[in-house]
Protein backbone atom coordinates (compact mmCIF):
# COMPACT_ATOMS: atom_id res chain seq x y z
CA UNK A 1 0.00 0.00 0.00
CA UNK A 2 1.53 3.34 -1.02
CA UNK A 3 2.38 5.63 1.87
CA UNK A 4 1.49 9.20 1.00
CA UNK A 5 3.95 11.74 2.32
CA UNK A 6 2.99 14.77 4.35
CA UNK A 7 4.28 18.33 4.42
CA UNK A 8 5.65 17.72 7.94
CA UNK A 9 8.35 15.62 6.32
CA UNK A 10 9.20 18.54 4.05
CA UNK A 11 9.46 20.90 7.03
CA UNK A 12 11.89 18.48 8.69
CA UNK A 13 13.88 18.26 5.46
CA UNK A 14 14.08 22.05 5.41
CA UNK A 15 15.72 22.04 8.83
CA UNK A 16 18.22 19.43 7.68
CA UNK A 17 19.32 21.20 4.53
CA UNK A 18 19.00 24.93 5.19
CA UNK A 19 22.47 25.34 6.71
CA UNK A 20 24.28 24.16 3.60
CA UNK A 21 22.07 26.14 1.23
CA UNK A 22 24.14 29.31 0.97
CA UNK A 23 27.32 27.34 0.29
CA UNK A 24 25.65 25.27 -2.39
CA UNK A 25 24.19 28.27 -4.21
CA UNK A 26 27.54 30.07 -4.27
CA UNK A 27 29.78 27.18 -5.27
CA UNK A 28 27.50 24.56 -6.74
CA UNK A 29 26.53 23.26 -10.14
CA UNK A 30 23.37 24.04 -12.06
CA UNK A 31 22.19 21.98 -15.03
CA UNK A 32 19.74 23.80 -17.29
CA UNK A 33 17.47 21.93 -19.73
CA UNK A 34 15.64 23.66 -22.61
CA UNK A 35 11.93 22.86 -22.33
CA UNK A 36 10.24 24.81 -25.12
CA UNK A 37 7.92 23.02 -27.58
CA UNK A 38 10.95 22.16 -29.71
CA UNK A 39 12.81 20.72 -26.72
CA UNK A 40 9.83 18.70 -25.52
CA UNK A 41 9.20 17.31 -29.03
CA UNK A 42 12.89 16.37 -29.31
CA UNK A 43 12.77 14.49 -25.99
CA UNK A 44 14.05 17.08 -23.49
CA UNK A 45 11.77 15.83 -20.74
CA UNK A 46 13.23 12.33 -21.03
CA UNK A 47 16.71 13.84 -21.00
CA UNK A 48 15.86 15.74 -17.81
CA UNK A 49 14.48 12.55 -16.28
CA UNK A 50 17.75 10.77 -17.10
CA UNK A 51 19.74 13.64 -15.56
CA UNK A 52 17.70 13.51 -12.32
CA UNK A 53 18.13 9.73 -12.13
CA UNK A 54 21.87 9.89 -12.78
CA UNK A 55 22.41 12.60 -10.17
CA UNK A 56 20.43 10.59 -7.61
CA UNK A 57 22.24 7.37 -8.48
CA UNK A 58 25.66 8.96 -8.05
CA UNK A 59 24.53 11.17 -5.17
CA UNK A 60 25.78 14.29 -6.89
CA UNK A 61 24.41 17.55 -5.50
CA UNK A 62 23.46 19.74 -8.44
CA UNK A 63 20.51 22.00 -9.09
CA UNK A 64 18.44 21.27 -12.20
CA UNK A 65 16.41 24.04 -13.84
CA UNK A 66 14.30 24.27 -16.99
CA UNK A 67 14.06 27.17 -19.43
CA UNK A 68 12.07 27.91 -22.61
CA UNK A 69 13.22 27.93 -26.24
CA UNK A 70 16.40 29.92 -26.98
CA UNK A 71 16.03 29.61 -30.75
CA UNK A 72 18.47 26.77 -31.41
CA UNK A 73 15.60 24.33 -32.06
CA UNK A 74 17.56 22.03 -34.38
CA UNK A 75 20.04 21.29 -31.58
CA UNK A 76 17.44 20.36 -28.96
CA UNK A 77 17.50 18.86 -26.43
CA UNK A 78 19.93 21.50 -25.16
CA UNK A 79 21.63 21.07 -21.81
CA UNK A 80 23.73 23.81 -20.19
CA UNK A 81 26.12 23.10 -17.35
CA UNK A 82 26.99 26.04 -15.16
CA UNK A 83 29.64 25.77 -12.47
CA UNK A 84 30.84 28.64 -10.34
CA UNK A 85 33.90 30.32 -11.82
CA UNK A 86 33.82 28.32 -15.04
CA UNK A 87 32.38 29.09 -18.49
CA UNK A 88 28.80 27.94 -19.00
CA UNK A 89 28.85 25.12 -21.53
CA UNK A 90 25.90 24.28 -23.82
CA UNK A 91 25.60 20.74 -25.14
CA UNK A 92 23.29 19.96 -28.09
CA UNK A 93 21.14 16.99 -29.13
CA UNK A 94 21.53 15.45 -25.68
CA UNK A 95 19.58 12.20 -25.57
CA UNK A 96 19.04 10.18 -22.37
CA UNK A 97 21.71 7.63 -23.31
CA UNK A 98 24.33 10.44 -23.43
CA UNK A 99 23.59 11.55 -19.88
CA UNK A 100 25.79 9.09 -17.92
CA UNK A 101 28.89 10.12 -19.91
CA UNK A 102 27.98 13.80 -19.57
CA UNK A 103 27.72 13.53 -15.80
CA UNK A 104 30.83 11.37 -15.52
CA UNK A 105 33.13 13.47 -17.70
CA UNK A 106 31.90 17.01 -17.10
CA UNK A 107 30.70 16.90 -13.50
CA UNK A 108 32.90 14.20 -12.02
CA UNK A 109 36.12 14.60 -14.00
CA UNK A 110 35.81 18.26 -15.01
CA UNK A 111 36.40 17.55 -18.71
CA UNK A 112 34.25 19.26 -21.33
CA UNK A 113 33.08 16.82 -24.05
CA UNK A 114 34.10 18.99 -26.98
CA UNK A 115 32.35 17.01 -29.72
CA UNK A 116 28.95 17.62 -28.10
CA UNK A 117 29.42 21.34 -27.36
CA UNK A 118 27.31 23.84 -29.31
CA UNK A 119 28.08 26.98 -27.31
CA UNK A 120 29.94 28.55 -24.42
CA UNK A 121 29.49 31.60 -22.30
CA UNK A 122 32.48 33.02 -20.47
CA UNK A 123 32.28 33.93 -16.80
CA UNK A 124 32.20 37.63 -17.88
CA UNK A 125 29.17 37.04 -20.08
CA UNK A 126 27.25 35.30 -17.33
CA UNK A 127 28.20 37.94 -14.80
CA UNK A 128 30.58 36.01 -12.56
CA UNK B 1 4.34 13.85 -29.12
CA UNK B 2 4.06 10.33 -27.81
CA UNK B 3 2.41 11.09 -24.47
CA UNK B 4 -0.32 13.51 -23.43
CA UNK B 5 1.90 14.56 -20.54
CA UNK B 6 4.28 16.07 -23.11
CA UNK B 7 1.43 18.19 -24.53
CA UNK B 8 0.56 19.16 -20.96
CA UNK B 9 4.13 20.26 -20.32
CA UNK B 10 3.99 22.34 -23.49
CA UNK B 11 0.76 24.04 -22.33
CA UNK B 12 2.29 24.79 -18.94
CA UNK B 13 5.44 26.18 -20.60
CA UNK B 14 3.21 28.44 -22.74
CA UNK B 15 1.79 29.86 -19.51
CA UNK B 16 5.27 30.42 -18.11
CA UNK B 17 6.35 32.13 -21.35
CA UNK B 18 3.25 34.35 -21.05
CA UNK B 19 4.61 35.64 -17.74
CA UNK B 20 2.21 33.73 -15.48
CA UNK B 21 2.89 33.62 -11.75
CA UNK B 22 0.31 30.92 -11.16
CA UNK B 23 -0.74 27.93 -13.25
CA UNK B 24 -3.58 25.52 -12.62
CA UNK B 25 -3.61 22.08 -14.19
CA UNK B 26 -6.69 19.89 -13.94
CA UNK B 27 -6.80 16.36 -15.30
CA UNK B 28 -10.17 14.67 -15.14
CA UNK B 29 -9.93 11.00 -16.03
CA UNK B 30 -13.61 10.03 -16.14
CA UNK B 31 -13.94 6.35 -16.95
CA UNK B 32 -17.75 6.36 -16.62
CA UNK B 33 -18.22 9.18 -19.11
CA UNK B 34 -15.40 7.73 -21.24
CA UNK B 35 -13.73 11.13 -21.35
CA UNK B 36 -10.34 12.51 -20.47
CA UNK B 37 -10.26 16.28 -19.97
CA UNK B 38 -7.13 18.36 -19.53
CA UNK B 39 -7.41 22.01 -18.52
CA UNK B 40 -4.55 24.47 -18.07
CA UNK B 41 -5.32 27.90 -16.71
CA UNK B 42 -2.71 30.65 -16.36
CA UNK B 43 -2.72 34.24 -15.14
CA UNK B 44 -0.26 35.40 -17.80
CA UNK B 45 -0.64 38.28 -20.22
CA UNK B 46 -3.48 36.67 -22.20
CA UNK B 47 -4.31 37.22 -25.86
CA UNK B 48 -6.48 39.59 -27.84
CA UNK B 49 -9.17 38.30 -30.20
CA UNK B 50 -6.94 38.52 -33.28
CA UNK B 51 -4.12 36.50 -31.68
CA UNK B 52 -6.63 33.98 -30.37
CA UNK B 53 -7.94 33.40 -33.89
CA UNK B 54 -4.44 32.61 -35.16
CA UNK B 55 -3.03 30.62 -32.26
CA UNK B 56 -3.79 27.19 -33.72
CA UNK B 57 -2.21 28.14 -37.04
CA UNK B 58 1.15 26.31 -37.11
CA UNK B 59 2.72 29.19 -39.03
CA UNK B 60 1.88 31.69 -36.33
CA UNK B 61 3.93 32.30 -33.20
CA UNK B 62 4.55 35.21 -30.87
CA UNK B 63 8.19 34.21 -30.70
CA UNK B 64 10.87 36.10 -32.57
CA UNK B 65 13.50 33.33 -32.46
CA UNK B 66 11.60 31.12 -34.89
CA UNK B 67 8.65 31.33 -37.25
CA UNK B 68 6.49 28.33 -36.45
CA UNK B 69 4.42 27.52 -33.37
CA UNK B 70 3.46 23.89 -33.34
CA UNK B 71 2.42 23.25 -29.74
CA UNK B 72 -1.30 24.07 -29.86
CA UNK B 73 -1.89 22.78 -33.43
CA UNK B 74 -0.36 19.42 -32.44
CA UNK B 75 -2.57 19.18 -29.36
CA UNK B 76 -5.64 20.16 -31.35
CA UNK B 77 -4.90 17.46 -33.92
CA UNK B 78 -4.34 14.87 -31.17
CA UNK B 79 -7.66 15.74 -29.49
CA UNK B 80 -9.68 15.86 -32.71
CA UNK B 81 -8.47 12.48 -33.90
CA UNK B 82 -9.76 11.05 -30.60
CA UNK B 83 -13.31 12.42 -31.02
CA UNK B 84 -12.47 15.32 -28.75
CA UNK B 85 -11.42 18.91 -29.26
CA UNK B 86 -9.53 21.95 -28.08
CA UNK B 87 -10.99 25.18 -26.73
CA UNK B 88 -9.06 28.30 -25.80
CA UNK B 89 -10.42 31.27 -23.86
CA UNK B 90 -8.28 34.28 -23.18
CA UNK B 91 -8.46 37.88 -22.02
CA UNK B 92 -5.59 40.35 -22.38
CA UNK B 93 -4.15 41.03 -18.95
CA UNK B 94 -6.20 38.26 -17.35
CA UNK B 95 -4.78 34.99 -18.60
CA UNK B 96 -5.67 32.00 -20.73
CA UNK B 97 -7.60 28.77 -20.26
CA UNK B 98 -6.92 25.86 -22.61
CA UNK B 99 -9.11 22.76 -22.46
CA UNK B 100 -8.45 19.57 -24.41
CA UNK B 101 -10.87 16.66 -24.39
CA UNK B 102 -10.34 13.11 -25.58
CA UNK B 103 -12.54 10.04 -25.92
CA UNK B 104 -10.86 8.06 -23.17
CA UNK B 105 -10.88 4.64 -24.84
CA UNK B 106 -10.18 5.89 -28.37
CA UNK B 107 -7.62 3.68 -30.09
CA UNK B 108 -5.56 6.72 -31.10
CA UNK B 109 -5.47 8.30 -27.65
CA UNK B 110 -1.88 8.53 -26.47
CA UNK B 111 -1.22 7.44 -22.89
CA UNK B 112 -1.01 10.13 -20.26
CA UNK B 113 2.57 9.08 -19.62
CA UNK B 114 5.11 10.47 -17.19
CA UNK B 115 3.23 13.13 -15.22
CA UNK B 116 5.87 13.17 -12.49
CA UNK B 117 8.60 14.50 -14.78
CA UNK B 118 6.16 16.89 -16.48
CA UNK B 119 5.25 18.46 -13.13
CA UNK B 120 8.89 18.49 -12.02
CA UNK B 121 9.86 20.32 -15.22
CA UNK B 122 7.51 23.14 -14.23
CA UNK B 123 8.50 23.20 -10.57
CA UNK B 124 12.15 23.43 -11.61
CA UNK B 125 11.54 26.26 -14.06
CA UNK B 126 14.04 29.11 -13.88
CA UNK B 127 11.01 31.41 -14.13
CA UNK B 128 9.45 30.88 -10.72
CA UNK B 129 5.77 30.14 -11.11
CA UNK B 130 3.34 28.42 -8.78
CA UNK B 131 1.46 25.37 -9.95
CA UNK B 132 -1.71 23.81 -8.63
CA UNK B 133 -2.08 20.29 -10.01
CA UNK B 134 -5.37 18.46 -9.50
CA UNK B 135 -5.77 14.97 -10.90
CA UNK B 136 -9.14 13.23 -10.66
CA UNK B 137 -9.63 9.53 -11.31
CA UNK B 138 -11.81 6.78 -9.87
CA UNK B 139 -13.77 9.27 -7.78
CA UNK B 140 -10.62 10.53 -6.05
CA UNK B 141 -8.52 13.61 -6.41
CA UNK B 142 -4.80 14.16 -5.93
CA UNK B 143 -3.78 17.76 -5.33
CA UNK B 144 -0.36 19.36 -5.30
CA UNK B 145 0.05 23.08 -4.65
CA UNK B 146 3.59 24.36 -5.07
CA UNK B 147 2.78 27.45 -2.98
CA UNK B 148 2.21 25.14 -0.01
CA UNK B 149 5.49 23.36 -0.72
CA UNK B 150 7.33 26.70 -0.90
CA UNK B 151 5.74 27.84 2.33
CA UNK B 152 6.85 24.67 4.10
CA UNK B 153 10.37 25.05 2.68
CA UNK B 154 10.97 28.72 3.46
CA UNK B 155 14.22 29.75 1.78
CA UNK B 156 15.13 26.24 0.64
CA UNK B 157 14.53 26.11 -3.14
CA UNK B 158 12.44 23.43 -4.86
CA UNK B 159 15.51 22.60 -6.94
CA UNK B 160 17.50 21.48 -3.89
CA UNK B 161 18.48 17.86 -4.64
CA UNK B 162 16.94 16.42 -1.46
CA UNK B 163 13.75 18.44 -1.90
CA UNK B 164 13.52 17.53 -5.56
CA UNK B 165 13.69 13.82 -4.74
CA UNK B 166 11.07 14.22 -2.02
CA UNK B 167 8.65 15.97 -4.39
CA UNK B 168 9.14 13.33 -7.10
CA UNK B 169 8.25 10.58 -4.62
CA UNK B 170 5.35 12.64 -3.28
CA UNK B 171 3.75 12.97 -6.72
CA UNK B 172 4.41 9.35 -7.64
CA UNK B 173 2.87 8.08 -4.41
CA UNK B 174 -0.12 10.38 -4.84
CA UNK B 175 -0.77 9.17 -8.38
CA UNK B 176 -0.31 5.53 -7.29
CA UNK B 177 -2.89 6.09 -4.54
CA UNK B 178 -5.35 7.47 -7.11
CA UNK B 179 -5.43 4.06 -8.74
CA UNK B 180 -5.10 2.03 -5.56
CA UNK B 181 -7.63 0.17 -3.46
CA UNK B 182 -10.33 1.98 -1.47
CA UNK B 183 -8.50 2.10 1.84
CA UNK B 184 -5.46 3.77 0.29
CA UNK B 185 -7.16 6.96 -0.69
CA UNK B 186 -8.07 8.49 2.59
CA UNK B 187 -4.81 10.06 3.70
CA UNK B 188 -2.15 12.50 2.57
CA UNK B 189 -2.58 14.30 -0.73
CA UNK B 190 -5.37 12.09 -2.06
CA UNK B 191 -9.00 12.41 -1.06
CA UNK B 192 -12.29 10.98 -2.15
CA UNK B 193 -14.12 13.57 -4.21
CA UNK B 194 -17.11 13.39 -1.86
CA UNK B 195 -14.82 14.93 0.79
CA UNK B 196 -15.30 18.13 -1.21
CA UNK B 197 -11.81 19.35 -0.46
CA UNK B 198 -9.67 21.11 -3.01
CA UNK B 199 -6.37 21.15 -1.16
CA UNK B 200 -5.63 17.82 0.39
CA UNK B 201 -1.98 18.07 1.25
CA UNK B 202 -1.63 16.94 4.81
CA UNK B 203 0.24 19.48 6.90
The CA distance from A89 to B10, in Å, is 25
Compute and round to an integer the Cα radius of gyration of chain A: 16
**Length reported for chain B:** 203
Using a CB-CB cut-off of 8 Å, the residues of chain B touching A17 are 156, 160, 162-163
Contact A73, B66 (CB under 8 A): yes
Give the mean pLDDT of B92-113.
Answer: 95
Question: Helix, strand, coil proportions of chain B in percent (round to 5)?
Answer: 35, 25, 40
* B16 to A68: CB separation less than 8 angstroms, yes or no: yes
In 3D space, the residue among B13, B16, B173, B118 whose CA is nearest the CA of residue A49 turns out to be B118
Given a cut of 60, whether residue B185 has pLDDT beyond it is no
pLDDT the model gives residue A1: 39
Given a cut of 90, whether residue B20 has pLDDT beyond it is yes
Reported as a single tens digit per residue, the pLDDT across A79-107 is 999 988 888 999 999 999 999 999 999 99
pLDDT the model gives residue B63: 58
User: Of B63, B148, B169, which is closest to A69 when you measure between CB atoms?
Assistant: B63
User: Of A10, A49, A62, which is closest to B166 when you measure between CB atoms?
Assistant: A10
In 3D space, the residue among A81, A78, A85, A86 whose CA is nearest the CA of residue A62 turns out to be A81
Reported as a single tens digit per residue, the pLDDT across B36-93 is 999 999 999 998 888 888 877 777 666 555 555 577 888 999 999 999 999 999 999 9
Cα-based torsion angle of the residue sequence A38, A42, A48, A54 in order, rounded to the nearest 10 degrees = -160
The counts of H helices and E strands in chain A are 4, 5
SS3 call for B140:
strand
User: How many contacts does A have with B, using Cβ atoms within 8 A?
Assistant: 145
* B159 to A63: CB separation less than 8 angstroms, yes or no: yes
Amino acid sequence: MPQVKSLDELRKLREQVKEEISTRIETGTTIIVGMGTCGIAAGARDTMHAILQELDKRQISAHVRTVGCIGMCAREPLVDIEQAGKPRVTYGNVTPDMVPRLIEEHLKNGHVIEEWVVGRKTTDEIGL
Amino acid sequence: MRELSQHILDLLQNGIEAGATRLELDIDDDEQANRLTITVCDNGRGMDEETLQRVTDPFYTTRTTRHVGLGLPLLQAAAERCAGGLTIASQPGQGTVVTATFQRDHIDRAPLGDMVTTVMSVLLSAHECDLVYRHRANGRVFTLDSAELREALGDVPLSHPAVRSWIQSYIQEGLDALNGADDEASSGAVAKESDNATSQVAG
